Amino acid sequence: MEATSTRKPALLTVDDDPAVSRSVARDLRRRYGDAYRVVRADSGPLALDALRDLKLRGDQVAVLLADHRMPEMTGIEFLEQAMDIYPQARRVLLTAYADTDVAIDAVNVVDLDHYLLKPWDPPEEKFYPVIDAQLEAWNANPPRSVAETKVVGHRWSARSSEVREFLARNQVPYRWYSSDSPEGKRLLDVAGADESALPVLVTTEGTVLVCPTDGEIAAQVGLAVSPAERFYDLVVIGGGPAGLSAALYGASEGLRTALVERSATGGQAGQSSRIENYLGFPDGVSGAQLTDRARRQALKFGAEIVMTRDAIGLEVKGAARSVRFDDGTSVEAHTVIVASGVAYRELDGPGIGALTGRGVYYGSALTEATACENQDIYVVGGANSAGQAAMYLSRHARSVTLVVRSASLSLSMSSYLVEQVEANERIRVRTQSEVVEAVGDDHLEQIVLRDTVTGHKESVHTGWLFVFIGAAPLTTWLDGTVTRDEHGFVCAGHDLLVEGKVPSSWPLDRPPYHLETSVPGVFAAGDVRAESAKRVASAVGEGAMAVMLVHRYLEQL
């Protein structure tokens, strides 16, 4: 996300027909170019990406003008998703005469403000009066300008990258300035900082944070960082799909519920550029969008979301369950749902650790995607997360090479995604290969690939390596309290039984409930649970089921 001088509200038009798209943009610029920025996209997904970029930069969007008949996503489907990003933008559907019934129905579906028939010549009679009316309505009650947090850092600073990712994943609008740019230097001078202490963050209130921690950032940008109470009915650890689902259902069913997240809600799913096999989203949905909807829904029902608190211990105190945090504080509850998820495993090899955050990234690091334009990118991994990242990065990159240890993508990647990857001319799949070394001074310059069959090594030039190589559960904080398997995943329900019988260490007369751990009243949901399905839909379902079991447990207290 680069700094830009334009602060004009945007008029966004999306149409898959290049001729129509250019015509609409031309007519808009001719009349409104002095006061508004015209943004053009040729598909719904690309238009949504543009809207998300505008949102993160704090820019306003006045009018959304979408063609109805588009192959990837109809205009109505686009406007429905766009409402989540810019709810106050005026919505106009461009349609043929034959589709007027559809347009009328859209008034209720997406609160359509107007539908415009093609062709609209002459624009002075058929186009401009419509847009004039929409702009007049928008300007009558425009949304307040979004003040932006400013971040000054070095392009190849690992911590600068982490700060940008933290802000983006927590939906905090910010503007990035390179420390060697004129504006970056000016901000450092005004803040009284220098390039030896980066990154520097300037809040919307003018507060300067030098090399801030995530907790310090969260406190300054308005995120809750401490529980409001000392005791709850339910505390959920982890803000991925399972945790958000549990918090939503717990709060909506009357439980005093707090969700505690160490970094950003969404977990690994929140970093996905596009999830296409999630029920109810036939055109796919980005992890960030799905996460934001779930977070807002949980807050709507009264769940409390506490950020940047890292759980380091769990204690049983009679009927209470106490969770200790890394800052020395703790919170107690009748019940706990462990939904702390998993983290990507790290590559092992010379130079890789030193270049992490400086060309080597774990997860999608979507804030880096636009900087990859016309670059040769390497993605390590053979599962869905790697395939989704490769597809997303291919929009900007010159080429994307998918490095896979197995002999075939089909062994671990969904068939629909395999087909998309293989059909993408910018993506090359390199099977039976692994990255064994990273080379570079202040940033990544080369990687060394090894053929797992022959052992042959090859050095290739690249400044970008994104890693998705399996998952390790985040459960060390449960040591000595909750039973886990040999890989660290939490055992629950039937998995606790020994030869079909309840172990002698189990303190109750009844057997453990389906998602209940070795500690009564403590449940596990999502990827952190042993033998879980490792899918977003199953994680959401387990979060909801865990709350049902929490109610059953509480009834017996």
Percentage of the chain surpassing pLDDT 90?
66
pLDDT level of residue 101 (50, 70, 90 thresholds): low
Average pLDDT on 544-553 reads 98
Q: How far is CA 282 from the centre of its chain?
A: 19
Predicted confidence at residue 223, as pLDDT, reads 95
16: tokens are: 């898959």
Average pLDDT on 418-431 reads 96
* Average pLDDT for the chain: 90
Average pLDDT on 65-85 reads 86
Question: Looking at per-residue confidence, does 465 or 207 come out higher?
Answer: 465
Strands (DSSP E) contained in 88-171 are 90-95, 114-117, 149-153
Predicted confidence at residue 145, as pLDDT, reads 57
Give me the sheet containing 114-117, strands edge to edge. Answer: 37-41, 10-14, 61-67, 90-95, 114-117
112 and 171: one domain?
Answer: no
Residue 176 lies in a domain: yes
**Is the confidence at residue 522, as pLDDT, over 90?**
yes
Predicted confidence at residue 59, as pLDDT, reads 82
Q: How far apart are CA 328 and CA 391, in angstroms?
A: 43
Predicted confidence at residue 205, as pLDDT, reads 82
pLDDT level of residue 3 (50, 70, 90 thresholds): very low
**Is the confidence at residue 352, as pLDDT, over 90?**
yes
The residues, ordered by sequence, that sit 6+ positions from 350 with a Cβ below 8 Å of its Cβ are: 437, 438
Q: State pLDDT tens for residues 193-250.
A: 888 889 999 888 888 999 999 999 999 999 999 999 999 999 999 999 999 999 999 9
Predicted confidence at residue 144, as pLDDT, reads 63
Average pLDDT on 92-116 reads 68
In sequence order, the β-bridge partners of residue 176 are 151
Question: For the chain, what is the domain count?
Answer: 4
544 and 425: one domain?
Answer: no
Q: Is 119 exposed, middle or buried (0-12, 13-18, 19+ CB in 10 A)?
A: exposed
Please give the DSSP secondary-structure letter assigned to residue 238.
-
237 and 336: one domain?
Answer: yes
Q: How far apart are CA 468 and CA 364, in angstroms?
A: 8
Q: Which amino acid is at 488?
A: G
Check residue 220 and give left, alpha or beta (phi > 0: left; psi -120 to 50: alpha).
Answer: alpha
Among the candidates 116, 140, 164, a domain finishes at 140
492 and 457: one domain?
Answer: no
Determine contact, residues 387/413, Cβ cutoff 8 Å.
Answer: yes
pLDDT level of residue 365 (50, 70, 90 thresholds): low
- Measured in degrees and rounded to the nearest 5, phi and psi for residue 479 equal -50, 130
Percentage of the chain surpassing pLDDT 70?
95
372 and 453: one domain?
Answer: yes
The residues, ordered by sequence, that sit 6+ positions from 191 with a Cβ below 8 Å of its Cβ are: 152, 200, 202, 208, 210
Query: Containing H/E element for 323?
Result: strand 320-325
412: tokens are: 């671990």
Predicted confidence at residue 369, as pLDDT, reads 74
Give me the sheet containing 427-430, strands edge to edge. Answer: 360-362, 465-467, 376-380, 399-403, 427-430
Range of the domain at 58: 10-140
284: tokens are: 């796919």
Predicted confidence at residue 2, as pLDDT, reads 37
Rg (CA), the chain: 25
133 and 154: one domain?
Answer: no
Average pLDDT on 362-378 reads 82
308 and 402: one domain?
Answer: no
Residue 3 lies in a domain: no
Determine contact, residues 380/465, Cβ cutoff 8 Å.
Answer: yes
Predicted confidence at residue 29, as pLDDT, reads 95
Q: Which amino acid is at 482?
A: V
Among the candidates 201, 220, 239, a domain finishes at 220
pLDDT level of residue 4 (50, 70, 90 thresholds): very low
Q: How far apart are CA 347 and CA 103, in angstroms?
A: 52
3-state secondary structure 449-509: EEECCCCCEEEEECCCEEECCCEEECCHHHCCCCCECCCCCECCHHHHCECCECCCCCCCC
Q: How far is CA 141 from the centre of its chain?
A: 31
pLDDT level of residue 499 (50, 70, 90 thresholds): confident
251 and 177: one domain?
Answer: no
326 and 374: one domain?
Answer: no
Predicted confidence at residue 313, as pLDDT, reads 97
CATH of the domain at 337: 3.50.50.60
Among the candidates 415, 434, 469, a domain finishes at 469
**Of 339, 468, 473, the residue nearest 413 (C-alpha):** 468
The residues, ordered by sequence, that sit 6+ positions from 236 with a Cβ below 8 Å of its Cβ are: 243, 246, 247, 250, 257, 258, 259, 260, 336, 337, 339
* pTM given for the model: 0.78
Residue 1 lies in a domain: no
Predicted confidence at residue 541, as pLDDT, reads 97
Predicted confidence at residue 5, as pLDDT, reads 40
